[in-house]
Structure formats: C-alpha cells, structure tokens
C-alpha cells in the first residue's frame, strides 16, 4: 500500500513539474528556433549593420562598469572593515542602499543632474566659466557612471564578507617573512579576496548586460536596448530573435567561464580557528578624508538622488499629480506583482519539492530547467514570450495573463533559491514520522511540511513580489493597452523628461524596495 | 634511579648549561610590559634572555600572557614598558617599534597559516623574493629536502595532513634563516598520537639548523621534552626561569610546583632545625626560623608505599595509567598524598600502607605566604 502511495503521488506531481519546466523552457527554445531558422540574409544584414557596434558597446559598458565597481567596492569594503572612525558601522550598513534604486530611476535622475542646464553644469560653469560643459549623460561615460553607482554594492558586499573572513595570521606570517605592508596586500590579502571579488564582478556584469532601464533612458545602444527597438520600432521579430540568441549565447559563455574560474580558484580554509584583523584607529585627518570619500560615493549613488525624488514628489503632490490615476497605477503594480508572486510560489513548490525529495534525473532536470530563466536577460525573456504568445495563443496576447507568465519565468529562479533551502532544512524523517502516525500524503504535507517551510516560502513570495514591482522591460512590451504600472510610468515620464511627474512613482518603488534589501542583506550580515 | 645517577644527570645538565652560557645572547627582554587591551592578557615586568641555539619554552595556563609575549617579540604587539633586544638591536620599547618584516623572526602559528592560494613550494619560497631565482630555488629545495616534503611540493595546503602542514610552516619560517624562530602552540592542532614523534623531529630539526627558538605551550610535558630552558608565566608575570629539571625538582613557587606536575603540599613545623610533618622529618635546607609553619611539596614519584597492617594511612583510590599505578593515600589528618608505583604493584582500596619518602630535594614554602619563593 505504502509503495503504491509513494509511486502515484510523485507521478502526479511529476506531470505538473514536467509541464511547468517545459513551459518555462519553451520561450528560450522558440527564440532559438526562430533565430536559427531565419533567412541567412537577416543574419548578414545584422552582422553588417548592428552586431559589431552592439558587441563593442555592451562589452565596453561591462568592462567600464567592472573597473568602476572594482575600485569603489574593494576600496569601500577595505575602509569600513580595516579602519575605525566615527560612524563607521552606519556607513558600513548604508553603503548597500544604492541597491534599492532601480537602474532606470538612477538613470532618469542623472539625465537631469548631468543634463544641459542641470545643477552639475551650473556648478561647473560657475567655477570654470560660462562656456564649460560637463560630460553628457547620453554617452558611454554617462551609462558607465550610472551603472557603476548602482551596482558597486555587489562587489562591496562580497568583498566585505570575504575581508571579515580573512585570517589575520596569513598577513602576520607574511610580515614575519619580511614582506612590506604593500607586498602583503598584493601577495596575500588580494589573492585571498580574489574569489569574492570575481563573484561580485560577475554579478555586476550579468546585471549590466541584461539591464534595459538605464541604457534605454540614456540612449546607449546595447543588445537589450536593440532587441527592444527591433520589436517596438521596426516590428522585426526575427531580427530581435537573432540579437537575443546572441546575447543568451554570450551570457552562457560568460557563466560557464565564471564557473570554471571559480572552481579553479576555490580556496580551502586550512584551519579551523581564525582571528580577524583589528581595526586600525584613524586620526582626525584620516577620519575626515575617509568620511568625505564615503559621503561622496553614497551621496552620488543614493543621497542626492533620494533627496531629489523627495523634493519632486512634494512639489508634484502640491500640483495634484498624486491623484486617482496615480493610485490606479499603484493598484496595477500591486495586483500584478501579487498574482505573479503567488503563481510563482505555487509553480515552484512541486519543482523544488520533487527535486529535493525524489532527486531522480527527470525531477532534477525539471528544476534545472526552471533556473533557465537566469540566462534569459529580462528583455529577451519578455520578447520570447511576446513572440510565442502572438504565435500560439493570439487570443491571450495583450492580456495580463501573458505578463504574469513572463514575470514567473523571469523571477522563479530567484524565488527557488529561497524556497529550496527551506525545503532542504526539514529532514524526510519528519514526513515519515507523520506517515507512520497514520496521516496520508496530503495531510502530511498540510500539517507537517507546509508549516515548516512557511517562513522560507513567504520570504520567496516577498522577494518575487518586490522584484515584479520594479520590473520594467517585460511590462513595457507585454502590458495590455493603457495598463500602466509604477515602473512603466517612471520610464514613460522620464523618457519625456517630465522629471517631477516621474518622482512619486519612483520614490514609492525605492521605499518598497528598502525592506526587501534589508531582508536580503541581513542574512549575509550575520553569516559574515 | 639512584641518588648518584640523579646527581650525575644534574651535573651533566649543569655542564651543558655552562657551555651554553658562553654563547652570545640572541634575544633579551628587559622588564617588558604590555598595556591591557580588551581580549588580550597584559604582561608586566617580563625579563629573560635566550642564547644562540637555545630552545626556550614559554609555559603557562591560557590567559597567562605567553602568546602576548611571543607577539611582542614578533612585533605584532607594542610594548608599554621595558625593551626587547633582538641580536643586540633594540626592536621594541615604548618609543620604538621596528616593524615585523624588518626583525628577521620566523613565525609558526598554532594553525600554521599556510597561504591557501599557494602551493607548498611557493609557500616556502614566499619570504625569499629578494633572492635571484636560482638561489631561491636551491634554498627552497634544500629546505624541503630537510623536512622531507620534496614529493609534496606541488600540492596545495588543503591537500596535506596536519603534520605535513606543520612541516611546511616550519620550512617556510626556517628557510629565511631567522634570528629567532617563534612557535605558538605548534602541536595543539595535531593528533595526540603524532605529537611525540613530531616533537622529536622538531627538536632534531632545530638542533640541526642551530636555530634559536621560542616556543609557547600550555603543556608541561611538551615544554620538558623540547626546552633547554623554561619560563613559567602566570597572570602576566614570570614565575620562574630555569632548566626543565630545576623547574620540576625545585619549583620556585607553589604555582610552578603545581603546574608542572602532580604535587601535594603537606603542612609542617620547623622544630630543632628540621621540618616535622605527619609523614616524616625533612631538612630545613633554606633555614626557616624555629616555629615557622611551612608546607613541604611532595611529588608522587618521591613517595613509595608498602602495605603494612599497623599503619594509619590508607589507600583511597587507585588509577591505572598503563606504565604506573597512581595511588591516592589518605593520611589520618585528612590530608592526601599521591604515590606512583610500578604498574604491577596492585593493592586494593582500603589497604593500610606505610609511606617512604625519598626526595633528593626538599621544596619548602611558607604556609602564610604561599607565593613567596623559597626552595
């Protein structure tokens, strides 16, 4: 009897899991099919006109932002971990705040700050004469600056955690071997931090190449922006599919290289005990310099933008911009994100449960397939679903349902990452104990498994909900006509340079993102 | 062991010491103090010196300041009083702190701290960057050969056993020919089964390379096995600085007596020029005044027992230790002494026994001032 239950229960779930995994992989497969079956002339034309430029632009942006975040992230982590000065612990915590600011919000604020007639230009002309110009935000430098300021906390967070875990004995023994401080840093500390720095940089690079919001507002031609233009401007789905496939291809190559590098440079802690390095106290001059540097970085990446948003929100509210229409957008965002997060948890549960409890090849493959959303940069995934929906289910195309599917495909990997550990924490013995006490499979699930995994699943739901609120490219491409969300409003108003009108929505997005950010960071904080 | 034999070993030790005294001093601490800082025990008024080729052990319980002393010698810890001289050069004082990298000390940490991103051979070569490549290679090869790690030179630290890791750490420190080698609890992370062999190997290696070494340990057996001289530390103060033999047989304070081996303290009274106790008379070697209340330190190996029906001392417990039986003897006054007997002498608990105390040295402390050294 028991055998029968064990057999049929997973089988019925397996069917669900297989269906879901298939649905999730379908867009990617379809894009591949469309691109590879395209007329060679399409490839040729794209190769002659767009691809070299896009490759160069995307690569240059990734490289520029990597260098920027490397310098900022490592130096900031070093200062807050190795030095003691007034307010150190506040700075240590505040430096993650830029992550709460979606790239399109920061980009839109910088088009104002650096734009012609903007405050930075005023300041510069006051100092350097009326003819002086500042760098344009609509340039490689502008895009690099905005993306660097937005993503350096990835490198900062990982480097900080690694620095806290560096055993000070390594540095002491190196000095006993006669190495100077600089040489210790170059030959011991830096190599020990390298895996963490590389992990941080690879997050940054994936973030940059899949970003749509900032590059589109700064009109900087990368693959994601080009894909969007092919679809919306030229209605050329085949060309968009070709560009998408190329981007997925490069993302995959990058991921594989990164994984290979990480495996190669994995260091083993050779000892059980470690002592952390004591913080070096700073004199008044040192403390002032460090604080000035931290204030400059945090002011540019979060302080000034947030202050601007608040100012504009206040003046926009006074002018009556926060009206019933605005609350309509809020409702759209919340309802859509809530539905998507709920759907993702429901869909993710059987996948994660099966792969962790009955890790057969098929079940694990289904779970792996769900993670495929990772290699699909946001706009590409959205495009894939757009094309697929317009071919297969035209009667649903342009409905909220398609948008929710896009959200689920895109954010399920992040949700699964939170759900899986929750499931892994409970031993199968608990379920077996429940079964031995006479509860059936579904009652066991209801009374034992679900109460235990509830916390992890709620965290996953919150995480996906908040990411849906921020989501831009898929919403832009797939939303029903006239159905705008907060993110879409920010982008639309900012594209038209209605800076004040964009502010209330942007501020709301930032405020909503803060608790999720703290939730995520506090987990790492304790671990380190 | 007969008294004659013991005398000879002791005079051998004295000879050895005299020979060693002619060697130049490599490391000297003069009234060194380290200020109190949270989490680190302070040390005060620490003075001792180490001669070339000598192995010194800093021995004491955890928190006694022995690691702080070692770190002060290495230059990781500033001193707040006194001075440290390395090879005749002032390296630490309240106004001076020569950085570690300019001190030419070798350091072996408790957890070895092998660089996890470097292979064995690169770890050992780490401190030799100033040499030309061929010279560096030759020295590293010789060193690896000496510690028997040539076969493993391409491995990473995590691919080595604990003992092998220790040898790499030693090789890395010794290849620089340090003025003094500092070892912080070098055996504490090893399997206890291995430590005996590792101690022998380490001592041979240090002798062979004529290395001056300062070794920190909390284990008196380790200190006895390794050291030429031992500095016993307690609460940041130096309690005694002497040869292992002297530390064991003539401890300067009750703390040292108790810390370096099992010791019982039997009260006695100075009467007619001798010390009268419940287990017999002892010579008043240090000349306490008549009527002084003292305690006599007795080690288990100084006490021999014979079953005897008319005696009042009784066996309270027997602990079998393989090579010996350790008996706990209850005296009529309620005091307890321990006796070490051969592993085949087995008497049941409760047996009345006669005590024979055969001590070459009588160690006396004043009862009222247990910390005042007399010996």
**What is the model's pLDDT at position A10?**
58
* Closest approach of A275 to chain B, Cα-based (Å): 11
**What DSSP letter does each residue of B235-268 carry, written as one string?**
TTEEEEEE-HHHHHHS-SSHHHHHHTS--EEEEE
Phi, psi of B205 (to 5 degrees): -65, -45
Which A residues in the span 136-175 are in contact with B, Cβ-Cβ below 8 Å? 167, 169-170, 172-175
Output the six-digit token pair for A267.
């260091």
**What is the model's pLDDT at position A273?**
57
**Cβ contact (<8 Å) for A170 and B130?**
no
**What is the model's pLDDT at position A248?**
85
How many domains does one find in chain B?
A: 2
Task: Among B196, B227, B258, give the residue marking a domain's end.
Answer: B258
Task: Among B219, B235, B258, give the residue marking a domain's end.
Answer: B258
**Cβ contact (<8 Å) for A272 and B189?**
yes
Q: What is the pLDDT of residues A236-287, one digit of tens each?
A: 788 888 888 888 888 888 888 877 877 766 665 545 556 777 788 888 999 9
Which B residues in the span 131-170 are in contact with A, Cβ-Cβ below 8 Å? 156-158, 165, 169
Q: Is B38 on the interface with A (CB under 8 A)?
A: no
Judge whether B330 lies within some domain: yes
Chain A's closest residue to B164, CA to CA, is A270
**Cβ contact (<8 Å) for B116 and A192?**
yes
Which of B74, B113, B158 to probe the A interface (max A CBs under 10 A)? Answer: B113
Cα separation of B324 and B335, whole Å?
22
Taking each helix axis from N to C end, the angle separating B162-174 and A168-176, rounded to the nearest 10 degrees, works out to 40
Residues B246, B281, single domain; the answer is: no
Judge whether B11 lies within some domain: no
**What is the model's pLDDT at position B6?**
57
Nearest beta carbon to residue B106 from set A174, A176, A183 = A176
CATH class of the domain comprising A1-37+319-528: mainly alpha
**Cβ contact (<8 Å) for A175 and B101?**
yes
Nearest beta carbon to residue B158 from set A169, A174, A268 = A268
- Residues in chain A, how many? 528
Q: Is B36 on the interface with A (CB under 8 A)?
A: no
What CATH number corresponds to the domain at position B278? 2.40.50.140
* Closest approach of B224 to chain A, Cα-based (Å): 27
Residues of B in contact with A170 (CB under 8 A): 113, 115
Please give the CATH topology (third level) of the domain spanning A50-306.
MetI-like fold (1.10.3720)
**What is the model's pLDDT at position A264?**
67
Which helix or strand (DSSP H or E) is residue A400 part of?
helix A400-425
Residues A268, A270, A274, A279, CA torsion sign: negative
Residues B215, B313, single domain; the answer is: no
Output the six-digit token pair for B275.
């010390």
Residues B254, B268, single domain; the answer is: no
**Cβ contact (<8 Å) for B172 and A187?**
no
Residues B354, B215, single domain; the answer is: no
**Cβ contact (<8 Å) for A180 and B110?**
no
Q: Specify burial of residue A514 (Cβ count, 10 A radius: 0-12, 13-18, 19+).
A: middle
Residues B336, B252, single domain; the answer is: no
Residues B250, B268, single domain; the answer is: no
Chain A's closest residue to B74, CA to CA, is A176
**Cβ contact (<8 Å) for A174 and B110?**
no
Phi, psi of B25 (to 5 degrees): -80, 130
Residues B269, B358, single domain; the answer is: yes
Q: Rg for chain B (alpha carbons), in Å?
A: 24
Which of B111, B160, B184 to probe the A interface (max A CBs under 10 A)? Answer: B111
**What is the model's pLDDT at position A522?**
73
**Cβ contact (<8 Å) for B101 and A177?**
yes
What CATH number corresponds to the domain at position B165? 3.40.50.300
Q: Do A1-37+319-528 and A50-306 show the same overall fold? A: yes
Which B residues in the span 205-224 are in contact with A, Cβ-Cβ below 8 Å? none
Judge whether B148 lies within some domain: yes
**What is the model's pLDDT at position B336?**
92
Cα separation of A277 and A290, whole Å?
19
**What is the model's pLDDT at position B179?**
93
Phi, psi of B28 (to 5 degrees): -140, 130
**Cβ contact (<8 Å) for B114 and A180?**
no
Q: Which range marks the domain in which residue B337 is found?
A: 264-366
Chain A with chain B: Cβ pairs closer than 8 A: 85
**Cβ contact (<8 Å) for A173 and B107?**
yes
**Cβ contact (<8 Å) for A172 and B113?**
yes
Stretches in chain A below the pLDDT threshold 70: 1-10, 264-274, 374-375, 438, 523-528
Judge whether B1 lies within some domain: no
Does the interface ipTM go beyond 0.95? no
Give the residue extent of every domain in chain A. 1-37+319-528, 50-306
Judge whether B158 lies within some domain: yes
**What is the model's pLDDT at position A4?**
39
Report which of B68, B97, B92 is spatially closest to residue B82, judged by C-alpha positions: B92
Residues B338, B316, single domain; the answer is: yes
Residues B97, B241, single domain; the answer is: yes
**End-to-end alpha carbon distance in chain B:** 22
Residues B331, B244, single domain; the answer is: no
Judge whether B134 lies within some domain: yes
**What is the model's pLDDT at position A155?**
93
**Cβ contact (<8 Å) for A172 and B158?**
no
Phi, psi of A439 (to 5 degrees): -85, 140
Report which of A261, A79, A43 is spatially closest to residue A159, judged by C-alpha positions: A79
Task: Among B235, B258, B281, give the residue marking a domain's end.
Answer: B258
**What is the model's pLDDT at position A245?**
87
Distance between alpha carbon B254 and the CA centroid of its chain, in Å?
A: 16
Q: Is A192 on the interface with B (CB under 8 A)?
A: yes
Judge whether B301 lies within some domain: yes
Output the six-digit token pair for A408.
């689920």
Q: Is B98 on the interface with A (CB under 8 A)?
A: no
Per-residue pLDDT of chain B (375 residues; tens, 9 = 90+): 445 555 566 677 677 667 666 788 999 999 999 886 666 678 999 999 999 999 999 999 988 899 999 999 998 888 999 999 999 999 999 998 998 888 999 989 888 888 888 899 999 998 888 889 999 999 999 999 999 999 999 999 888 988 899 999 999 999 989 999 999 998 887 888 888 888 998 999 999 999 999 999 999 999 999 999 999 999 999 999 999 999 999 999 999 999 998 889 999 999 888 899 988 888 888 788 888 889 999 999 889 999 988 888 999 999 998 889 999 999 988 899 999 999 888 999 999 999 988 877 788 888 865 544 433
**Cβ contact (<8 Å) for A268 and B126?**
no
Cα separation of B344 and B323, whole Å?
9
- The neighbour count for residue B44, using CB atoms within 10 Å, is 18
pTM of the predicted structure, to 2 decimals: 0.79
Residues B345, B310, single domain; the answer is: yes
Residues B217, B136, single domain; the answer is: yes
**What is the model's pLDDT at position A525?**
63
Residues of B in contact with A274 (CB under 8 A): 111
């Amino acid at each position: 009897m028991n055998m029968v239950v064990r057999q049929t229960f997973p089988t019925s779930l397996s069917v669900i899991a297989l269906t879901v995994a298939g649905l999730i992989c379908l867009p990617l497969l379809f894009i591949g099919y469309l691109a590879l079956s395209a007329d060679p002339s399409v490839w040729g034309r794209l190769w002659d006109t767009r691809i070299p430029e896009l490759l160069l632009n995307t690569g240059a942006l990734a490289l520029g932002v990597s260098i920027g975040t490397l310098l900022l992230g490592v130096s900031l982590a070093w200062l807050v971990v190795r030095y003691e000065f007034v307010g150190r612990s506040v700075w240590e915590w505040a430096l993650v705040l830029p992550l709460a600011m979606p790239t399109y919000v920061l980009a839109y604020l910088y088009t104002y700050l650096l734009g012609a007639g903007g405050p930075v230009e005023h300041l510069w002309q006051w100092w350097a004469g009326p003819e002086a110009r500042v760098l344009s935000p609509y340039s490689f430098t502008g895009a690099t600056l905005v993306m660097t300021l937005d993503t350096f906390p990835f490198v900062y967070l990982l480097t900080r955690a690694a620095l806290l875990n560096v055993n000070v004995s390594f540095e002491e023994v190196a000095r006993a071997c006669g190495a100077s401080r600089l040489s210790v840093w170059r030959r011991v500390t830096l190599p020990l931090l390298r895996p963490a720095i590389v992990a941080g940089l690879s997050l940054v690079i994936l973030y940059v190449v899949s970003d749509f919001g900032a590059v589109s507002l700064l009109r900087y031609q990368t693959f994601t922006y080009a894909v969007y233009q092919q679809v919306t401007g030229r209605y050329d789905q085949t060309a968009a599919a070709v560009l998408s496939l190329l981007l997925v291809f490069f993302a995959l190559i990058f991921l594989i290289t990164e994984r290979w590098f990480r495996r190669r440079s994995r260091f083993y802690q050779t000892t059980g005990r470690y002592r952390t390095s004591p913080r070096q106290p700073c004199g008044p001059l040192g403390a002032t310099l460090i604080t000035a540097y931290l204030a400059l970085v945090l002011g540019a990446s979060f302080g000034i933008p947030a202050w601007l948003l608040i100012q504009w929100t206040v003046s926009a509210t006074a002018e009556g911009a926060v009206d019933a229409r605005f609350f309509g957008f809020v409702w759209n965002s919340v309802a859509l994100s809530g539905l998507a997060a709920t759907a993702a948890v429901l869909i993710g549960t059987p996948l994660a449960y099966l792969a962790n409890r009955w890790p057969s090849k098929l079940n694990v493959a289904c779970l792996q397939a769900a993670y495929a959303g990772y290699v699909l940069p946001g706009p590409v995934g959205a495009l894939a679903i757009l094309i697929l929906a317009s071919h297969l289910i035209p009667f649903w195309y342009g409905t909220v349902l398609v948008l929710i599917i896009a959200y689920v495909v895109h954010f399920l990997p992040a949700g699964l990452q939170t759900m899986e550990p929750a499931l892994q924490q409970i031993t199968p013995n608990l379920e077996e104990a429940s079964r031995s006490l006479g509860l059936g499979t579904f009652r066991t699930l209801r009374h034992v498994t679900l109460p235990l995994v509830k916390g992890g699943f709620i965290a996953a739901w919150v995480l996906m909900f908040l990411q849906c609120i921020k989501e831009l490219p898929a919403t832009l491409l797939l939303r029903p006509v006239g159905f705008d969300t907060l993110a879409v409003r920010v982008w639309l108003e900012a594209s038209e340079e209605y800076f004040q009108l964009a502010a209330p929505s942007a501020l709301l997005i930032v405020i909503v993102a803060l608790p999720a950010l703290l939730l995520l960071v506090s987990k790492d904080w304790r671990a380190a | 062991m007969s008294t004659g034999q013991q005398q000879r070993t002791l005079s051998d030790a004295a000879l050895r010491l005299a020979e060693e005294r002619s060697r130049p001093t490599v490391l000297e601490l003069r009234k060194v103090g380290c200020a109190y800082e949270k989490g680190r025990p302070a040390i005060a008024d620490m003075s001792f010196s180490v001669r070339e080729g000598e192995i010194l052990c800093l021995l004491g319980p955890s928190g006694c300041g022995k690691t702080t002393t070692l770190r002060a010698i290495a230059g990781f810890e500033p001193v707040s009083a006194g001075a440290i001289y390395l090879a005749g050069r002032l390296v630490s004082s309240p106004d001076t702190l020569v950085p570690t990298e300019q001190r030419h000390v070798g350091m072996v940490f408790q957890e070895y701290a092998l660089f996890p991103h470097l292979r064995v051979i690169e770890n050992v070569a780490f401190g030799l960057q100033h040499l030309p490549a061929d010279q560096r290679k030759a020295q590293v090869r010789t060193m690896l050969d000496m510690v028997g790690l040539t076969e493993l030179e391409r491995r990473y630290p995590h691919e080595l056993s604990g003992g092998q890791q220790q040898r790499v750490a030693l090789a890395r420190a010794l290849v620089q020919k340090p003025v003094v080698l500092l070892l912080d609890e070098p055996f504490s992370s090893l399997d206890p089964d291995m430590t005996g062999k590792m101690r022998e190997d380490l001592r041979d290696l240090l002798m062979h390379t004529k290395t001056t070494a300062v070794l920190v340990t909390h284990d008196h057996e380790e200190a006895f096995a390794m050291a030429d001289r031992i500095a016993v530390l307690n609460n940041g103060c130096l309690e005694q600085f002497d040869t292992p033999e002297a530390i064991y047989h003539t401890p300067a304070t009750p703390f040292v007596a108790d810390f370096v081996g099992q010791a019982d303290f039997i009260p006695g009274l100075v009467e007619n020029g001798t010390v009268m106790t419940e287990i017999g008379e002892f010579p008043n070697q240090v000349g306490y005044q008549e009527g002084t209340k003292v305690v006599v330190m007795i080690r288990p190996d100084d006490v021999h027992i014979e079953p005897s029906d008319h005696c009042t001392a009784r066996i309270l417990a027997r602990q079998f230790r393989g090579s010996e039986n350790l008996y706990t003897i209850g005296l009529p006054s309620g005091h307890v002494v321990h006796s070490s007997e051969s592993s085949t002498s087995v008497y049941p608990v409760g047996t009345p026994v006669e005590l024979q105390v055969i001590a070459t040295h009588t160690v006396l402390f004043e009862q009222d001032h247990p910390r005042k050294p007399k010996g």
